[in-house]
Amino acid sequence: MHIHAYEKLWLAFAVILILLLIGSVTYGAVGPGVAMVADSEDQIDPGALDEDERFAEPRVEQVGDNHYAAYVIAYQFAFEPSPIVVPENSRVTLYVTSRDVIHGFEVAGTNANTMVVPGEVSEITVEVGEPQEYGLLCNEYCGAGHHGMEGKVHVVSEEEYANLNEGGETA
C-alpha cells in the first residue's frame, strides 16, 4: 500500500500529539507539587469515627504556640462542629473526614478548599486574621440535601475565644 508523504507527515504529527497529551497527563498526575487527598497515609474507618481519638469529639484544640487544630466531620448534610470557632491571628490546621460519602469543604471567599473522602483525612493549614464569620460550603454533589449542606467558621477575638473555653467547652 502506498501512503502519500503528506499522509505520513500528518500521521506522525498525530502520534506526537497523542504522546504529548499522555506525557502532560502523566506529569500532572505524578509531577512535583501535585498531591491527591488519597496520597495521605492517614487512613481511617469512616464507620468507626466514634472510636477515633481525633474525631470522636469533633472540636478545635490548641496544639502549639498560636497553633490550633480543628477536627471536623462532614456528613449528609452538615459539618460538625459548626461553627468552627478559632481565635484571631492564629494558625489553624484543619483535619476533615467524612462519615459517609464524598463531600467538599470550602471556606467561602478564601482559598481553603479540599475534597473530603470517606476513609481519608484531608489536612489543610490556614493563617487566620481579624475576627470574621465565614460560610462553609460543600462543593461535591453528595445527595438530595447537597445544596443545603453548609456550616460556619467563626474567627473570634482572643478574649472571646478564652471566654468560650472557660466553661470547659471547646467550641
Binding-site ranges for ligand CUA (CB under 6 A): 77, 103, 138, 140-142, 146, 149
The letter for the amino acid at 139 is N
* Smallest distance, ligand CUA to C-beta of residue 53, A: 25
For residues 146 and 152, which CB has a smaller minimum distance to ligand CUA in the complex? 146
For residues 128 and 142, which CB has a smaller minimum distance to ligand CUA in the complex? 142
* Smallest distance, ligand CUA to C-beta of residue 42, A: 20
Quickly tell me which residue has 469515627 as its cell. 49
Q: Is the CB of residue 96 less than 8 Å from the CB of residue 131? A: no
From CA 83, how far away is CA 161, in angstroms rounded? Answer: 13
For residues 70 and 156, which CB has a smaller minimum distance to ligand CUA in the complex? 70
For residues 54 and 103, which CB has a smaller minimum distance to ligand CUA in the complex? 103
Cα 79 to Cα 37, 59, 86, 131: the distances in Å are 19, 11, 15, 21
* Smallest distance, ligand CUA to C-beta of residue 143, A: 7
Q: Is the CB of residue 101 less than 8 Å from the CB of residue 116? A: no
* Smallest distance, ligand CUA to C-beta of residue 79, A: 9
* Smallest distance, ligand CUA to C-beta of residue 103, A: 4
Bridge partners for 156 per DSSP? 87
For residues 86 and 142, which CB has a smaller minimum distance to ligand CUA in the complex? 142
Closest Cα partner for 105 from 73, 83, 129?
A: 73
